[in-house]
Structure 1
């Protein structure tokens, strides 16, 4: 009897979700609306994160969803969004996130988005191959340099290579330690004595080499 009452109360109007607070989805009004609608069908004693994720499963911008109850009628939903990393000129033009997810297709290249100079053999929901490597590299660009990035490619000898607005090439060597390599580039470019280089070899991040 007690168990039956517990299950009844868990899904009763006494604990029905009425107040939904969503954070992290400011740039995606559609996802916010879908999550609010899904949450309103739940109770604070029976939150179903799987159902929340399913509600936005078709939205490529949403990377992760988590929820926390605020008894008796509130729920806080945290959303992690994917952000554009670069633009690839496939047959219709597509915007990729840093994990290779295709965020939009059939669009023109935004002025502030780097060009991904690579081909992806199966560009459907997610990029693969060189396009994925470049997207991952571009997605790691720190704020200090993000506005200067023009394009990225995978060079047969130098690996992932990013070209800045001034023409300087950042040569990463491979796809490992990307964050450290970006930080090394920031440090070198912030040095007032640095000038006149065509490239910066970041393959060993604690010993960058200009040439």
Structure 2
């Protein structure tokens, strides 16, 4: 295939890949990310990879609020219409958490009863509590507790437990960081590499697996 044809084909494929991104996402691609991913075989995958992992903001919404994503919660409210009015629950929250809207008496309506429908109202930021898993709630739910897996407390405790000696724990179990923070120990390690290596192995070992 001629070189100019290959170049045109490549540019067309890149254009198609970029076009396959959602409109909002494509417009938000930073120039430096675009340039970085321009030659990638998977343009969309490259852009998404550069976005990184979303920041954890909290695991519980205020009472009577449902999680909407991106650290935002929305109040769950009831809207009432006459029987047969054709209104529906908001699908984002319908059938989730403990959200319910009952009926209420309305002597002025034809049927004498108004039917309640779940709707979304005011916005509030997500909150943090130690009583629920440290992950954001699922969309439409109040907290991560509602979909927590059995044994989540033990799993989180194990994940957060330092896998090294208490001496290295403040340095995230990094032997070199420990030495940099302790010049005297660093000088000793440089003068005694063999003994220092044995000490490194001892301090970086998981105390619960020895």
Same fold (TM over 0.5): no
Higher fraction of strand: 1
Give the TM bin, normalised by the shorter chain: under 0.3
Higher fraction of helix: 2
With CA pairs under 8 Å and 6+ residues apart, which has the higher RCO, 1 or 2?
2
The normalised TM-score by structure 2 is 0.27
The normalised TM-score by structure 1 is 0.27
